[in-house]
Structure 1
Amino acid sequence: MNAPLGPKPGAGRLQSIDALRGFVMVLMLLDHLRETWFLHVPVADPIDATTALPAMYWARLAVSLCAPIFVALTGISAYLFSTKHTLAETRMYLVKRGLVLMALEVFFLSELYWGIAAPTFWLQVIWCIGVCMIVLALLIGMPRRLLLAGGLLIVCGHNLLDGIRLEPGHPLFAPWAMLHQRDVIELPFGFVAKTTYPVLPWIGVIVLGFAIGPWFSPGVAAPARRRRLIWLGTAMLLTFFLVRLWNGYGDTPWFVVEGDPMRTVMSFLALTKYPPSLLFLLLTLGVGALLLAAFELLREGRISAALAVFGGAPMFFYLLHLSVLRLLYHGALALWGPNQGSVFGVGNYGWVLAWYVALIIPLYIPTAWFSRFKAARRDIAWLKYL
C-alpha cells in the first residue's frame, strides 16, 4: 500500500494526452452549441439516416469521439498518477475526484441547463466519469492482465445484455438503469433521475485505458508508443468494419437507402451511444488511438500546444463553456423571445458553425489563464479536481 504502482515518470505532463483531450473538448463545444441554438430540431440517437440533415449528422458523428476518448484518457491519466503515488493515495484521489464530478452533475449542471430546483437530475457524462473513477479505484490493485481481460469482456460482451429490460417497480430497476438501461428513475418529492449515460460499458473503457497506461511510461520510447497506437487503432477500425459488415452483433443493423449512397453510408455509421455499443467504441476509440499517435508526432507544434491548454484544465473549460452558452441563450431569449416554438434558436445550422468559430478564442483566453494558474499553484489542493 505504500509503494507506487509503476515506474516514476519524468516531470511534467504528456502534451500528446493533453492535446488529444483538448481536441475532444473543443469538438464537444460544437455539440453543445447545437443544443443551445438548434434545440428546436429533434435529433434521434442514433441519428436517423433517412431524415437527418447531413451537415448535422456528420458534425454529430465527429463529436461522438468526445466521450469515449475522454474516458479512455482518464484511465491512462489515472495510471500515470499512480506511478507517482501509493495505491492508497491513488484510490483516495480517484474516489474524491469521482464524488466531486457526481456532485457537480447533480447539483450544478442539471440546474444550469434546466433552471433552479429543476425536477430532473440528468446523470450524464460527468456523472458517468465520476462513477467510473470510483469503480476504477476499487479495481486498480488487480493484476494488469486481469484488468485488460475484464475491460475487454465488458466492452465486447455487454451488448449480450441488451435484451434485459426491467420495469419500474422491479427491485433491481434503479441499479440496472444506471448500469445498462437508459431510463427514468422516480425519486422522492416528485424528482426524477434520467440515466443518460448507463455506466457499465464506460467502466470497461476506463479500465482498458488504465491497462494500457504503461505504454506512456518514460521507459517507453515515443516511436515505439506511436507504433503501438497505430497498430491498435488500425486493428480496432478493421474489426469495426468487419463486424459492421456482418451486421449481426454489436449494434442495431444498418440498411441500404435505395438511390442514396450517402445515406447508406450514414446508416452504416449510425451507432448507439446510450449505452455505447461495441461498434460505437471500436470506431471512436480506434480513431482516438490514431489521433493520439498523431499528437505524439506533433507534440512540439503550435496547434498541439494550444489544444493542450484546453486539455490541461478540462473541467474548468467544461463548466466555463456551458455557463457561457446558458448566459448567451437566456440573454437572447430575454431580448427577442421564443422564435422557434417555445425556444429561441437559429434557423440555419450554418449559424451554429459560425458561433463555434467565434467562441473558440474567447473561451481559450480564460482557460489558458486557469491552466497556467493551476500549474503554478500546485500547493492549492482543490485545483487538481479541475
Structure 2
Amino acid sequence: MEPVLPLPKPRIHSIDILRGIIMVLMALDHTRDFFSNAAFDPLDLDKTTAAYYLTRWVTHLCAPTFIFLSGASAYLSSQRKTSRQTSSFLLSRGLWLIFLELTVVNFGWMFDPGFHLVFAQVIWAIGFSMIFLAALVYLKPLHIGIIGLALIFGHNLFDGIKSASWGQYKFFWMFLHEQNLYVISKTHAIMLLYPVVPWCGVMAAGYAFGTLFQFDPAGRQRLFIQIGLCCILLFLLLRLFNIYGDPRPWAHQHNLEKDAFDMMNVQKYPPSLAYLLITLGISIAALGLLEFTNNGITKTFTTYGRVPMFYYVLHIYLLHLAALFTAMGKHTSLNSLTAVGLGPQHGFSLPVIYLIWLSVVILLYFPCYWFMKVKQRRRDWWLSYV
C-alpha cells in the first residue's frame, strides 16, 4: 500500500459523517439526563434494564471519538500551515474552548449566574488536549503518536494514586488523573469530570492517525477496519481475563447478559485503557465502513458533523429550557433556574426520552444547516472557533 501525495484537498466526508453520528448520540445521553424518571444509574446491573444500559453505554462512543477525530482533523489542517501556525491555532482554540466550558457551556447546564458549581467536562478536556498538542506539533507525527499511545496505555498504572495524598496540591492530581470535586470556597466548587492526561493521549494518537488519510480511500478503508478490529480484540483479551486496563475487574453474574454487561462496564472518568480500546475500536472500524457511504442519511449527519460546537451549545440550551418549561407545566417544586433534570417523580420513561431526543435532533437540523452554509460561503477567521 503506497501513500498518495500530495494530501487531497477535499474534506474527508467519513470524518464529518462519523462526527455527526456522535453528536446525535450525545444528545440522547443529555436528553436522558434532563428528562429521565429513572432513579438509578443506567449502568448499575442490580437496578438497570437492558434498554437503559444500552442507551447509556452507546453514548460512551461520543467523547473519545470526538477528541480522536479532533486530533486527526488537526493533522489534516496542519498540511496547509507551518508548524508554528498550527501550534498557534491549537493554543488559541484550546484556550477559547476552556473559556467557553467555564462560562457559556456551564451556564447552559446549570442556569446559575453565580457559577457556584462548575463542571469541567468534555470541552474542558478538548481545550487542554489542544494546548498539549500545540506543544507537540513540532515533532514528527510518529513521535506524537507514540506519546499519545504511551499516555493511553500507561496511565492506568497510576490508578492507585489518590488526590488525598497530595495535600494542598490535590487539585493538580484531580486535574491530571482523578475525577473528583474540588471545593474552592464555601460557595463555589468545580467538579473535574474529565481529568486531562488520557484525553491528551487520545488527541495525540488521533493526530498521528490523521497521516493515514494520505492513503487511497480503498486502502485506508481496509486499514481502518483492521485497526478497529485489532483494538476490539485487544480489549476482549485484556478485559476477559482481567489482565490490565481498568481499575474495576468484572465478575461473573451467573447470567450471560449480565456477564457481558459487566465486562463492558468500563471506566469513563478518567477513561481507562479498556474503555478507549473498545470505543475507539468501534469508531475507527466505523470510519472505514463509512468511507464510500454517501446518501441522504449520511448527508444529514454531515450537517451536524461540520458544525459540532454550534450544535453542542444549542442542544444544551434547548434541552434545559425544554426541561424547565416541562417542570413549570407540571407545577413541580423546580422553581429555580439551576435545576437540571426532572427527576424520578416528574421525568419520563425511556420511550418518551427517545421521542424527545429525536424531536430535538430534528429541530436542531435547521439552524445547523444554515450555519454550515455560512461557513461554506465565508472565510472569516472567527468561524474556525465556532
**TM-score range normalised by the length of the shorter chain:** over 0.9
Q: 1:116-131, aligned counterparts within 5 Å?
A: 116-131=113-128
In 2, Cα distance between equivalents of 1:28 and 1:55:
17
Is 1:303–2:301 an aligned residue pair? Answer: no
Alignment match, 1:321: 315
Measured after TM superposition, the shift of residue 7 of structure 1 is: 6.6
Q: Deviations over 1:261-284 (max 9, x none)?
A: 211211111110000000000000
In 1, Cα distance between equivalents of 2:276 and 2:369:
31
Measured after TM superposition, the shift of residue 29 of structure 1 is: 0.6
- Kindly indicate whether the alpha-carbon contact (under 8 Å) linking 1:38 and 1:346 is maintained by their aligned counterparts in 2: yes
3-state DSSP class of the match of 2:243? coil
**Gapped runs of 5+ residues in structure 1?**
1-5
**2:21 maps to which of 23, 26, 32:** 23
Q: 1:211-360, aligned counterparts within 5 Å?
A: 211-217=208-214, 220-251=215-246, 252-258=248-254, 260-298=255-293, 300-338=294-332, 344=342, 345-360=346-361
Measured after TM superposition, the shift of residue 92 of structure 1 is: 1.0
Is 1:363–2:364 an aligned residue pair? Answer: yes
Count of aligned residue pairs for this structure pair:
374
In 1, Cα distance between equivalents of 2:68 and 2:295:
24
Alignment match, 1:34: 32
- Kindly indicate whether the alpha-carbon contact (under 8 Å) linking 1:48 and 1:270 is maintained by their aligned counterparts in 2: no
Measured after TM superposition, the shift of residue 239 of structure 1 is: 0.5
3-state DSSP class of the match of 1:273? coil
Q: Which amino acid is the alignment partner of residue 35 of structure 1?
A: D
Alignment match, 2:60: 64
RMSD: 2.0
Distance 1:50 1:248, change over 3 A: farther
Measured after TM superposition, the shift of residue 131 of structure 1 is: 0.5
3-state DSSP class of the match of 1:85? coil
3-state DSSP class of the match of 2:263? helix
Worse overlay, 17-26 or 137-146: 137-146
Q: Which amino acid is the alignment partner of residue 221 of structure 2?
A: R
Q: Which amino acid is the alignment partner of residue 350 of structure 1?
A: P
Is 1:73–2:90 an aligned residue pair? Answer: no
Q: Deviations over 1:153-208 (max 9, x none)?
A: 11111111000012187243111101101112222573211110011111111000
Measured after TM superposition, the shift of residue 302 of structure 1 is: 2.0
- Kindly indicate whether the alpha-carbon contact (under 8 Å) linking 1:49 and 1:270 is maintained by their aligned counterparts in 2: no
Percent identical residues: 33
After TM superposition, the score normalised by the length of structure 1 is: 0.92
**1:94 maps to which of 90, 93, 99:** 90
Distance 1:339 1:256, change over 3 A: farther
Alignment match, 1:374: 375
In 2, Cα distance between equivalents of 1:9 and 1:133:
22
Measured after TM superposition, the shift of residue 150 of structure 1 is: 1.3
In 2, Cα distance between equivalents of 1:361 and 1:349:
18
3-state DSSP class of the match of 2:164? coil
- Kindly indicate whether the alpha-carbon contact (under 8 Å) linking 1:8 and 1:84 is maintained by their aligned counterparts in 2: no
In 2, Cα distance between equivalents of 1:385 and 1:39:
36
After TM superposition, the score normalised by the length of structure 2 is: 0.92
- Kindly indicate whether the alpha-carbon contact (under 8 Å) linking 1:71 and 1:202 is maintained by their aligned counterparts in 2: yes
Alignment match, 1:3: none
In 2, Cα distance between equivalents of 1:257 and 1:338:
39
In 2, Cα distance between equivalents of 1:201 and 1:81:
23
Worse overlay, 316-325 or 260-269: 260-269
3-state DSSP class of the match of 2:45? coil
- Kindly indicate whether the alpha-carbon contact (under 8 Å) linking 2:148 and 2:200 is maintained by their aligned counterparts in 1: yes
Q: Which amino acid is the alignment partner of residue 338 of structure 1?
A: T
